A and B are shown apart, each in its own frame.
Chain A
Amino acid sequence: MAVYKRPTSIADAPSGYCPGCLHSLATKLVAQAIEELGQADNSLNIISVGCSGLNILYWSGDFLSTAHGRAPAAATGAKRANPERLVFTYQGDGDLAAIGLAEIMSAANRGENFTVIFANNQTYGMTGGQMAPTTLIGQKSTTSIYGRDPKTTGYPLRMCEIISTLEAPRFVARYALNSPKGIMDAKKGIKKAFEMQLAGKGFTFIELLTNCPTNWHMTPLQTLDYMNTNTIPYFKPGIYKDTEENA
């Protein structure tokens, strides 16, 4: 009989994420996938900077905390030095899609055998809600108070679409965590990515659409609706690349 319990990789401590924040759900899904694969002792969380960095307080498995945007580079060194470990980065959108663009693109292009978990909440949550590379057109932030204007700030970066154009990545998928179906699919996707890594298949990339009630200035429930009407139409969930499908 399956027992629902706290995964061993999550520390037995109250979460300090804001009420309604989907980061804690995303972290839990990763920890559950690790647990179900029997990898709790073998996993290595390469933690980035931003709200994702709060993992240093809540992750009870091995972790290496890294500089802003550099997690894929550190993961490259760690995984190559110790290939049998299950290595993954956990990065937000400012970290991965702005300051760390070179590192994510190059690690993906080299086909490094680790997994990237990319939590996309379209804002710099930790620093107080500045415009992110993924902030939607018209979405307000502390550095785009009238809403993001593409004339001066360009357009939100779709990382799954970009990464899936590369030859080396093996599995690239986006899931929205604002519905039970999205959550169930995300869990399956994370698990599949980890299994592919353990089989030595190469680079896997999971984008999780999340929210930020605090900096979107909404109630948690409002953020889930906003994701349906605004986020999901622009960042379409789905599997963008799966080399196992035709295998």
Chain B
Amino acid sequence: MGEKRFMKGNEAIAEAAVRGGCRFFAGYPITPQNEIPEYLSWRLPEVGGDFVQGESEVASINMVYGAAAMGTRAMTSSSSPGISLKAEGISYLAAAMLPALIVNVSRGGPGLGSIQPAQSDYLQATKALGHGGFHTLVFAPNTVQEAVDIVYESWEYAERDRNPVFVLIDGCLGNIMEEVDLPEMKEIKPEDLPEWCLSRRNGRDWQGNITPIYTEPILEGLNMMAGEMYKQWEEEDVRVEEFMLDDAEYVVIAYGMASRVAKEAVIKLREEGHKLGLIRPITLYPFPKNSIRNLDYSRVKGIIDIEMTIPAQMRDDIELQVMGRCPVYEYGRSGGCLLDDDGVYEAIKEVITGGAE
């Protein structure tokens, strides 16, 4: 039985995490994600969990590392510059095969950038969340409800894979209010703790150790296992929304908040008689390659990549699937400047009427 509430994105994510079994959070203040730690600072103690305001992002991700090793569902959140600081710890989570949730409510960059929403962390999220060549599932919801649903089930993925899960939204989705249907509270009992964890509450009586350092042949073997897992994700975990592609001559590709503005433009241009469609990656990693690769390029005349960052970062992933079969265009705003309906509409129209390069 769900529970309807009108909630801010960040707070809805925090509540969804608690209902999804999260019992430990550590984080450091940074705009525009502060409502997540603020909410969890009082909410987690209510359900017997623990909240720590760490001395830094570096410390916070390592607190999550410690809690996750005990089998506790643990998370942290931050925004772009803070995610860079967590990179070390995220890599260690992947190395030690520890499940955890990391949420990036992203803002303009690089550097301290701006505190306004942006999608400038796509490459970091999908290619290198830390050193050492690992990946996490990267989800990019575009509504508060979708963020709630993804966060709620994120530990199921994290524990299945023994790997962190990453949720990437921008500061806009984190701060808008929408109606959400909150799922039921999951009850995690001591006997449900994973067998490998360092808690002895689950009855384990053998020596447990968790480490991010290995001898060479073991590390190579673990790298191979991770490679197999990423392949498996491509087959089973890709999520994508495809909109009006059947007769589309131009296809817009956008994710997160950008996809909401892009979809409005697609609908408006459809009403004007233009054959447009939209592909919205929901998982940025694994990337919905087939949706783009299998388009009918005898009909599709162009792809338009719309992102809230300049230059576009998803473009390389798109071009790898288009393989030169049609031109790829990009349009975006950046630095914390938001996409607006008119700008996106005009940019797409310019492409389909032949004006764009």
Chain B interface size range: 35 or more
Q: A56-B213, A62-B207 are in contact. Are A70 and B70 (CB under 8 A)?
A: no
B89 contacts A64, C-beta separation under 8 Å: no
| Interchain CB contact (< 8 A) of A73 among B59, B70, B212 | B59
Q: How far is the CA of A78 from the CA of B66 in the complex (A)?
A: 4
B50 contacts A81, C-beta separation under 8 Å: yes
A66 at the interface (CB under 8 A from B): yes
A46 contacts B66, C-beta separation under 8 Å: yes
Least CB distance, A193 to chain B, in whole angstroms: 19
B209 contacts A106, C-beta separation under 8 Å: no
A66 contacts B52, C-beta separation under 8 Å: no
B59 contacts A81, C-beta separation under 8 Å: no
B50 contacts A67, C-beta separation under 8 Å: no
B62 contacts A70, C-beta separation under 8 Å: yes
For B210, list chain A residues within 8 Å (CB). 63-65
For A47, list chain B residues within 8 Å (CB). 211
A64 contacts B66, C-beta separation under 8 Å: yes
Q: Nearest residue in B to A87 (C-beta to C-beta)?
A: B66
A73 contacts B198, C-beta separation under 8 Å: no
B230 at the interface (CB under 8 A from A): no
A56 contacts B209, C-beta separation under 8 Å: yes
Q: How far is the CA of A76 from the CA of B61 in the complex (A)?
A: 11
Q: How far is the CA of A105 from the CA of B56 in the complex (A)?
A: 12
Q: How far is the CA of A41 from the CA of B69 in the complex (A)?
A: 17
**Total count of chain A residues near the partner, CB < 8 A:** 33
| Interchain CB contact (< 8 A) of B63 among A56, A63, A74, A82 | A74
Least CB distance, A66 to chain B, in whole angstroms: 7
Q: How far is the CA of A77 from the CA of B61 in the complex (A)?
A: 10
B72 contacts A81, C-beta separation under 8 Å: yes
B133 at the interface (CB under 8 A from A): no
For B60, list chain A residues within 8 Å (CB). 73
A80 contacts B67, C-beta separation under 8 Å: yes
Q: Nearest residue in A to B51 (C-beta to C-beta)?
A: A80
B213 contacts A103, C-beta separation under 8 Å: no
Q: How far is the CA of A79 from the CA of B198 in the complex (A)?
A: 11
B26 at the interface (CB under 8 A from A): yes
Q: How far is the CA of A105 from the CA of B24 in the complex (A)?
A: 21
Q: How far is the CA of A64 from the CA of B54 in the complex (A)?
A: 20
B201 at the interface (CB under 8 A from A): yes
A82 contacts B209, C-beta separation under 8 Å: no
For B52, list chain A residues within 8 Å (CB). 76-77, 80, 110
Q: How far is the CA of A73 from the CA of B56 in the complex (A)?
A: 10
B66 contacts A74, C-beta separation under 8 Å: yes
B67 contacts A63, C-beta separation under 8 Å: no
A81 contacts B208, C-beta separation under 8 Å: no
For A65, list chain B residues within 8 Å (CB). 96, 209-213
Least CB distance, B84 to chain A, in whole angstroms: 15
Least CB distance, A204 to chain B, in whole angstroms: 18
Least CB distance, A143 to chain B, in whole angstroms: 23
Interface core residue of B63, B74, B211, B213 (most chain A CB under 10 Å): B63
Complex interface bits, B307-333 against A, C-beta within 8 A gives 1, otherwise 0: 000000000000000000000000000
B88 at the interface (CB under 8 A from A): yes
A133 at the interface (CB under 8 A from B): no
A208 at the interface (CB under 8 A from B): no
- CB interface residues, B 56-98, toward A, < 8 Å: 56, 58-60, 62-72, 74, 88-89, 92, 96
Q: List 21 A-B contacts (CB under 8 A).
A: A44-B198, A46-B66, A59-B209, A63-B210, A65-B209, A65-B213, A66-B62, A67-B65, A67-B88, A70-B62, A70-B65, A74-B62, A76-B59, A77-B64, A77-B65, A77-B69, A80-B67, A81-B67, A82-B200, A103-B62, A106-B55
